[in-house]
Amino acid sequence: MSTIAYLKSLLKDKNVASVTPSSSFTIKKTTRNIDFSKDVTIIEYGPGTGVFAEFLLKHISPGSRLIMIEMNVDFVHQLKHLKDDRVSVHHASAEQVEAIALEHGLQKVDYILSGIPFSFLDEKVKNRILAATVRLLHPEGIFLAYQTSSHLKESLQSHFSHVETCYEIRNIPPMCIYEARM
Ligand SMILES: C[S@@+](CC[C@H](N)C(=O)[O-])C[C@H]1O[C@@H](n2cnc3c(N)ncnc32)[C@H](O)[C@@H]1O
């Protein structure tokens, strides 16, 4: 179902940037340093059909929150079927993250997770999203991103003090996973 949804969406919208959702291996590796023992606030850019959300909702506490920002309207409709009080879905670009956080009364969040294809973005847009991400994260917060190559490392290093990468080959295509901290 999800692969078909992706292929249909990709034909209409190049920003979908994938033929299939992330694998469970990618999801587990990307989220491995989220502290599920506490109440956490997570913002996700580009949730697609919600494969990360399905995993996160099984692990986050009842007092945690997951705010998703998705640009593709078909995916937004699909995400609206996630019936969970901890979830909010916004049809918007990640560029609007600070305004969306304010709507929720949030000055800072614990984790920002991202699958958006940064290599497709204009340099200015990419830097605006990364700068807003830094402003919104708690000092000990983490930006978790996955991309099909290591192209994002340099940009992340210009916004964050510590950037680590690792790979997950059990994904179509293989993924480079980034962890960036202040
Ligand atoms: C590679 S897919 C990843 C989807 C999903 N997170 C997964 O792991 O299977 C990229 C997603 O980012 C969304 N997207 C692209 N640019 C975006 C932006 N500027 N703001 C929010 N979502 C965006 C696309 O519509 C798509 O759902």
Task: Determine the pLDDT at residue 8.
Answer: 78
Give the Cα separation of 116 and 71 in Å (integer): 10
- Ligand 1 atom nearest residue 20's Cα: 9
Q: Ligand 1 centroid to 62 CA: how many Å?
A: 26
pLDDT tens digits along 59-118: 999 999 999 999 999 999 999 999 999 999 999 999 999 999 999 999 999 999 999 999
Task: Determine the pLDDT at residue 167.
Answer: 97
Q: Ligand 1 centroid to 115 CA: how many Å?
A: 5
- CB distance 17 to ligand 1 below 6 Å: yes
Task: Determine the pLDDT at residue 18.
Answer: 77
Give the Cα separation of 145 and 180 in Å (integer): 8
Q: Which residues contact 137 (CB under 8 A, 6 or more apart)?
A: 108, 109, 110, 111, 112, 143, 182
Task: Give me the number of domains the chain comprises.
Answer: 1
Give the Cα separation of 83 and 88 in Å (integer): 10
Note if the bond before 173 is cis, omega within 30 degrees: yes
Q: What is the mean pLDDT of the chain?
A: 94
- CB distance 50 to ligand 1 below 6 Å: no
Give the Cα separation of 121 and 47 in Å (integer): 17
Max Cα-Cα span within the chain? 40
- CB distance 115 to ligand 1 below 6 Å: yes
Residue nearest to atom 3 of ligand 1 (CA): 115
pLDDT tens digits along 153-176: 999 999 999 999 999 999 999 999
- Ligand 1 atom nearest residue 21's Cα: 9
Q: Which domain holds residue 92?
A: 2-181
Give the Cα separation of 176 and 174 in Å (integer): 7
User: Residue range 20-25: average pLDDT?
Assistant: 94
Q: Ligand 1 centroid to 119 CA: how many Å?
A: 12
Are 163 and 180 spatial neighbours (Cβ–Cβ below 8 Å)?
Answer: yes
pTM score: 0.95
CATH number at residue 8: 3.40.50.150
- Reported confidence tier of residue 182, pLDDT bands at 50, 70, 90: very high
pLDDT at 17 over 80: no
Q: Ligand 1 centroid to 15 CA: how many Å?
A: 7
> Coil, helix or strand for 11?
helix
